[in-house]
Structure 1
Amino acid sequence: MNVDTECDFGTLPVVAWVRVLEHLPLKDRYHASLVCSKVFEAFSHPSLWRSVTLTVEGGSGKFRSLHMVNIPQRNFHLVQKFGRMFHHITFSVSAPLDKSFGEWNTVLADNIKRFNASSLTFDVGGLKNIAKGGVMRTLTENIKPMVDLVRNSLYLKSLVIKSWPTFASSLNKADENVFQAAMDNDKIKNLTKLSIFDCVSVAWSERRPLLLPVDLTHKMVEHFKSLTHLALRSPMLSEDLIRCLSCGDRQRLQQLKISINYLPQNESFEIPQMRDSVWRDFTNHNTKVRVHVLVLSRVPHHSMEMFLRPSCPLYNIRFGEFVRCDKEFVAYLANTFTSSLETFEYYEEDGDFEQELISLVECSSQLCRLVYCGKISIKHVIHLAELRGAEWQVLHLARKNIYTVPKNANEPEIDGDTVIAKNSSGEYVLVNMLKFHEQTSITSNGKEEQNMIDRVSQKLGRKWFPDSDM
């Protein structure tokens, strides 16, 4: 039987080409659409335009000024031709600007009523400029079209504000206050997802971001009673807001995400204290809610303990890349959230609380996802695998921080902030050098490393390796 090796891709149905184009970036998708009429037909399929990101690039770097504005020409064509198909729209501004967007503002204003967006995301913190005297401000004509889009939306169910120029002057202007615009639109009163300045990445974040005032945050949460997903930063929280989420006339919340911003000796960035009874009422009303916490800066353990009280349904806690965690707080987690905690992620390499980590896993019966970049011995790695076995969904440990020689139990513990300490001979040495000589990385002992990999893989029931990229 002769097999014809030639293939006429033009005979493929449109739905097949739609699937292919879904995996291409916009530029390549456009070039592919010029090949034949069948691909061009697929290029215009509504499903390809449900999600779109519209970007504006501003001045940044040594060779660009605040007066440079780059708006990709494709943005104009996309909005004018496919705007009615947009369901999930993201607006992104990459850098500070000091110039009107001109025609782009006109195009947005003319097409607002064509959008049928069910989800809007704004990452436009770059819409900030330095006026005379160093005062920060925004250009109203640049921000007004996006505010009007929220004010005139008909089907919006999700509003995500990753960044927004929240200067006092902006919040006092109706054409710049997207938060008030959302509350003024009765058509979106049944909003189900609200995210304000939520931080997703564990990488570095601003230490002193401009956030929404507590009273305005409370007003928004109180207004949108159908919320099932809410994400906020800790300085925007209060006991009154948690009580508001516990009211019987509200939809039951499914997820509460909190990004912890803390600055010592700064009242605006203190961790709010919560009474256990407030969390208990919150949990009694929102019976299936899960609280996710991302810690963006080092926080005294007693402040965290006064915030995350025993009745808080803590499900997931993550610490940023450069954020240390006190071993006392890990011990508190182990003793407090034994039945709710499922995820613990720690990305700081200088972590040194492996014994407390073992206790956390032993006590937390639901813990099945662990990411830990700190120091840990081979013995404890194997013990972690034995504690959960095949129940581990995620077990990521930094290869370079797994050591083979356990620390001398007779030597005193060294605080994480200590720079100089005595070694076993009574000599004063740098702490980092002392730790280096105490432990030997598995990277220098291939036999022990392979033995560990084999034993952990056996316990997990699948092939496992320590993470070399962490």
Structure 2
Amino acid sequence: MEVTGSEITVDTGRENYDFGLLPEVAWVQIMQYLQLKDRYSLSITCQALYQHFYHPSLWSNVKVNLTGGSTNFSLSNTYIPNRLVQMIDKFGHLFQKLTIKIFGHVSTFDDDSRLILTKLSEVCRLESLTLEAGKLITQFDISGFPPFKSDIQIFINFINNAFRLKQLNIRSWPMYPAIFTQNNLNIFNAIVKNEKLKDLESLSLFWRDDSAWSEREPLLPSPSFLMTFLPDLKKLTHLAVRSPMLNEDILTMLSSPDRCRLKLLQIYVTYSAFNQAFQIPDISSDIWKTLVLASPELEVECSVMSQVPNPELSLLLCPEVPLKSITFLPYSRCNGQIIGSITDKFMSSLKDFICYADTSDVDIELRYLVSKCSGLRTLVFHGSIKCSTVVTMATQKSGQWSKLEFVEKKLDTFDDEDGDDVDADEAIRRNEAGEYILVGLHRFHRHDDNREETIEQMSSVVSGVMGYKWKPV
């Protein structure tokens, strides 16, 4: 490849192509796929690409990642790397969708970092703001050092200065009582005070859209506190909360005829049998019926983080809930009884079933799920499953799947159903090598010499169903 002036020439061996003749829109779309450092490396290859580097659309969606303190029991600093300072200073006025994430605890900003973030809050014209202000705070963290007021004020400034914001995501916030009780440092009070945020359409509070572990019992705003500002946000069509923040009063308020119709409600389920604040909220079916009647297009998405007993989960997910999607996170509980219950109650509404939990012996229930849920389009299952079950489910909805995902190392290539060849009264037996094994664990002692071939055959069938080369992860 040769770069000369504004020409970018590639010798393919047959003919030279001048990619510098590509229109600006093509180069901008290419740059949108690149990380910032790679985009900059590309921009310094020639003058034409350097000009494209400044295109406004490349700076409308920006993520600023910072590293805070590893613990809050000692004072530490949060610095913004110099390259980010320069980027914010030069392009901050173009930001429309901004994500600010601090890894670890919110710690003290240096003067330069505080100055540039304050300036950014004044010049950007945000339509979407996502704040992940450090790790979620628990009772254990309260005895550590809370952030300084000046550091909290940096984030509050983005709320105070917002005037066209439509989407606000607060993934985490330092919920120290000493800060939360001060009105000028309470981010939720800032939302109420800014009259221009009355037009907010989407509000997400402490929701996570990934499968990473989250604190099990973080300090959260109570349902009664949410009622101090949610009623004023009458244009909300999307609300995401954690289950301890939800109660009948909130759903009744969302059913009010003077509000916009709710289209999406996301519930992040955190449960603890030993903490009254983290019990599953008891919401009657009549309350759900009223909400659905007020918002006929409503869809509910649920993510289950902790191990919730089936009776408790059923208390929240009653048949009247228009459940569109359910996700079981890695440390949650998902068994055959739960899958069967979900199938029976939501066969007409469920579109996405996702399970990252370590689950086994649910092949029959999964096949039942796929056969009964006519609208199911996404199936992600990271537990143990038979290859024959994968093929059966894939072909059952041929041409309808949006996503199928299974883990290769969890695939069982044997076709026998739970060891039909095993005597139910046997506890110990000899295997083919003459070794004694526990009958209940016989599947873990088996070895399939044709495993790779069986998985390849399965992948070939699923590829034909999906319309592209598919393979397990």
Classify the TM-score, shorter chain.
0.7 to 0.9
Distance 1:158 1:436, change over 3 A: same
Amino acid at match of 1:406: E
Other-structure match for 2:426: 425
* Matched positions, count: 451
TM-superposed deviation, 1:444: 4.6
Superimposed CA distance per residue, residues 430-464 of structure 1 (whole angstroms, 9 cap, x where no aligned partner)? xx954541475767534544554455556x26467
Give the distance between the partners of 2:457 and 2:84, measured in 1 at CA: 55
Distance 1:220 1:327, change over 3 A: farther
Is the 1:400–1:442 Cα contact (8 Å) retained in structure 2? Answer: no
Aligned counterparts, 1:291-330, within 5 A: 291-330=300-339
Aligned counterparts, 1:61-460, within 5 A: 66-126=75-135, 134-403=143-412, 404=414, 405-408=416-419, 424-427=425-428, 434-438=439-443, 440=446, 444-453=450-459, 456=462, 460=465
Superimposed CA distance per residue, residues 289-326 of structure 1 (whole angstroms, 9 cap, x where no aligned partner)? 11111100110101111111111000101101222213
Give the distance between the partners of 2:20 and 2:363, measured in 1 at CA: 60
Give the distance between the partners of 1:11 and 1:398, measured in 2 at CA: 44
Give the distance between the partners of 1:255 and 1:133, measured in 2 at CA: 34
Superimposed CA distance per residue, residues 57-89 of structure 1 (whole angstroms, 9 cap, x where no aligned partner)? 23439xxx7424331112322332222211111
Aligned counterpart in structure 2 of residue 51 of structure 1, from 46, 58, 61: 61
Give the distance between the partners of 2:356 and 2:142, measured in 1 at CA: 40
What secondary structure, in the 3-state scheme, does the structure 1 residue paired with 2:301 have? strand
Other-structure match for 2:7: none
Give the distance between the partners of 1:103 and 1:278, measured in 2 at CA: 51
TM-superposed deviation, 1:351: 2.8
What secondary structure, in the 3-state scheme, does the structure 2 residue paired with 1:189 have? helix
Amino acid at match of 1:161: I
Superimposed CA distance per residue, residues 1-36 of structure 1 (whole angstroms, 9 cap, x where no aligned partner)? xx9955555555443432333232222333443444
TM-superposed deviation, 1:193: 0.7
Amino acid at match of 1:182: I
Is the 2:132–2:172 Cα contact (8 Å) retained in structure 1? Answer: yes
Amino acid at match of 2:451: N
Give the distance between the partners of 1:319 and 1:127, measured in 2 at CA: 20
TM-score (norm 2): 0.85
Is the 2:267–2:302 Cα contact (8 Å) retained in structure 1? Answer: yes
Q: Unmatched 5+ residue regions in structure 2?
A: 1-12, 431-436
TM-score (norm 1): 0.86
Distance 1:49 1:277, change over 3 A: same
Distance 1:173 1:382, change over 3 A: same
Give the distance between the partners of 1:6 and 1:100, measured in 2 at CA: 52
Is the 1:136–1:167 Cα contact (8 Å) retained in structure 2? Answer: no
Distance 1:427 1:436, change over 3 A: closer
Is the 2:428–2:439 Cα contact (8 Å) retained in structure 1? Answer: no
Give the distance between the partners of 1:132 and 1:449, measured in 2 at CA: 48
Give the distance between the partners of 1:132 and 1:376, measured in 2 at CA: 40
Superimposed CA distance per residue, residues 107-131 of structure 1 (whole angstroms, 9 cap, x where no aligned partner)? 3334433211111110112598999
Distance 1:10 1:355, change over 3 A: closer
Is the 1:159–1:193 Cα contact (8 Å) retained in structure 2? Answer: yes
Amino acid at match of 1:80: D
Give the distance between the partners of 1:34 and 1:336, measured in 2 at CA: 58
Give the distance between the partners of 1:357 and 1:427, measured in 2 at CA: 30
Is the 1:29–1:43 Cα contact (8 Å) retained in structure 2? Answer: yes
Identity fraction in percent: 30
Superimposed CA distance per residue, residues 376-432 of structure 1 (whole angstroms, 9 cap, x where no aligned partner)? 3344333323432322332323333333132146989xxxxxxxxxx7424599xx9
What secondary structure, in the 3-state scheme, does the structure 2 residue paired with 1:390 have? coil
Distance 1:225 1:409, change over 3 A: farther
Is the 1:402–1:441 Cα contact (8 Å) retained in structure 2? Answer: no
Q: What's the RMSD between the two structures over aligned residues? A: 3.2
Larger deviation, residues 47-56 vs 305-314: 47-56
TM-superposed deviation, 1:199: 1.3
Superimposed CA distance per residue, residues 150-206 of structure 1 (whole angstroms, 9 cap, x where no aligned partner)? 112110001011111112221112342111101110012110110111011123222
Give the distance between the partners of 1:365 and 1:323, measured in 2 at CA: 26
Q: Unmatched 5+ residue regions in structure 1?
A: 413-422
Give the distance between the partners of 1:424 and 1:134, measured in 2 at CA: 56
Larger deviation, residues 227-236 vs 207-216: 207-216
TM-superposed deviation, 1:145: 2.0
Distance 1:7 1:372, change over 3 A: closer
Aligned counterpart in structure 2 of residue 42 of structure 1, from 47, 52, 77: 52
Distance 1:424 1:396, change over 3 A: farther
Is the 1:398–1:466 Cα contact (8 Å) retained in structure 2? Answer: no
Give the distance between the partners of 1:409 and 1:73, measured in 2 at CA: 65
What secondary structure, in the 3-state scheme, does the structure 2 residue paired with 1:273 have? coil
Give the distance between the partners of 1:121 and 1:441, measured in 2 at CA: 49
TM-superposed deviation, 1:208: 1.7
Amino acid at match of 2:96: H
Give the distance between the partners of 1:357 and 1:112, measured in 2 at CA: 49
Give the distance between the partners of 2:137 and 2:372, measured in 1 at CA: 48
Give the distance between the partners of 1:338 and 1:82, measured in 2 at CA: 48
